[in-house]
Structure 1
Amino acid sequence: MGILKRVRTILASNIHARISDAEDPEHIVNQSLREIERDLREAKAEYDAIEANCKRVKRELDQCISEMEKMERYAVKALESGDEGKARNFLEEKLNFKSRSQELKAQYEVAAVHVEQMKLVQEKLRQDFTELSERRDILVGRLTEAKSKQRMNELGPSQSNVRLTAFDQLEEKAERALAEAEAIEQLKRGLDDDIERISSK
């Protein structure tokens, strides 16, 4: 399907509606960007062809109008010189050019409308491309942030609590071992004192 047949669809399309309910919005955005780039290339090629045709028809129209005016001048001069036959021939030629100029004028008007349509299409596609690029960047940023938060949640509070609990248990064991060592030291000191008192008697 040619790009001109998609003019109304492209101009009426709403990019945001296309990705609002998507399961994988990043994939849809990237796919849409590729489609827009393709459409932009097609639109540029068709615009160049339509614009070239429009310019060609305009040149032909201008030339036809110029020839028509020339025939009219020749007819006037022929009448002034008294040559009605030549004047009639020039006027017939003028009518031929006038008929051709009307055809060319109609062709030019259609071509000019197509050129304007293609300008609008390219404008809309560029606008959509810019919007989608910006939206993709925001989306990628949010997905990255979400993944980071998921990792933090996986490694976060529960893991921290496990580590803190293990550290608390280790600290408690160390305190218990220290208390036991101090108790043994006190007992030993008490026994030594008792032995010393007995020996001195």
Structure 2
Amino acid sequence: MALLERVSTLLRANLNDLIEKAEDPERLLKQLVLDMENQLMQVKTQVAIAIADQHLLERKRSEHEQEVAEWKRKAELAVAKGHDDLARGALERSLSVERLAKGFAQQAEDQKLEADTLRQTLRKLDQKLNETRAQCEILMAEHRRTKIVGRATQARQTVGVTQDAALGRMKSRVRQHAAENAAAGEILAPETLEDKFQSLEEHEQVELMLGEIKARTALPVPGRE
């Protein structure tokens, strides 16, 4: 009965509920299949034992029924020979053996019912095991795919952040180089016509200012008083 209760528990198992509650669904599914395989082997063993016991009980019943028939034959022989006492003893013996034969017949019938129940349980468990294996393969594939997709998503997010940072640094460097190039271009650019006139005007202005300073601070000409 304990075996049948364990089998019944496995047959009623809801994979989705078990997976939702499990920390490691893939490990749980593998363990569930292993448990069902072990239970299946035990049920097969019990079925074989039950069938063997049934055959043994049926053989005992048949043997006792044959013995009953033999004692009745002896009783008839004793009556035919005029030995009523022997006939009575043979009939009493036939009744005793007949009771044993009926007992073995009842046990054989009960054993047959038990064997049939175990056979049905074995078929159900075997079917459930095949279904569970297929479902486990599907669920484990989904679980692995979910983990792979999660890792890929995380990788894309990480790459995206890294890429954005790299692009930001690249843009900053490009702008800095552009500014440096512009400054260098301004320094190294050839002098334009406007620049030349502006330089000439500034030179003339400097000369005028210098003349004014000399006029204000003019020293006496040597030889004059």
Q: Which residue of 1 aligns with 2:85?
A: 85
Larger Cα-atom Rg = 2
Name which of structure 1's ranges 71-80 and 103-112 shifts more when overlaid on structure 2.
71-80
Equivalent in 4, 29, 52 of residue 7 of structure 1 = 4
Kindly tell me the number of residue pairs found equivalent between the two proteins.
190
Gaps of 5+ in 2: 194-225
Identity across aligned pairs (percent)?
A: 16
1:40 touches 1:122 (CA, 8 Å); kept in 2?
yes
Distance 2:31 2:5 in 1: 21
1:64 touches 1:101 (CA, 8 Å); kept in 2?
yes
Q: Which residue of 2 aligns with 1:36?
A: 36
- Which protein has greater RCO, CA pairs closer than 8 Å, 6+ apart? 1
TM-fit CA distance, 1:165: 7.7
2:19 touches 2:28 (CA, 8 Å); kept in 1?
no
Over aligned residue pairs, what C-alpha RMSD do you find? Answer: 3.5
1:20–1:173 Cα change, 3 Å: closer
TM-score by length of 2: 0.65
- One-letter amino acid matched to 1:14: R
Gaps of 5+ in 1: 195-201
- One-letter amino acid matched to 1:136: C
Tell me the SS of whatever aligns to 1:156.
helix
Distance 2:61 2:152 in 1: 72
Matches within 5 A, 1:8-157: 8=5, 10-11=7-8, 13-16=11-14, 19-24=18-23, 25-156=25-156
Tell me the SS of whatever aligns to 1:15.
coil
For residues 160-190 of structure 1, what are the alpha-carbon distances to aligned partners after superposition, in whole Å with 9 as ceiling and x for unaligned? Answer: 4753785698589779979x98xx99xx9x9
TM-score by length of 1: 0.72
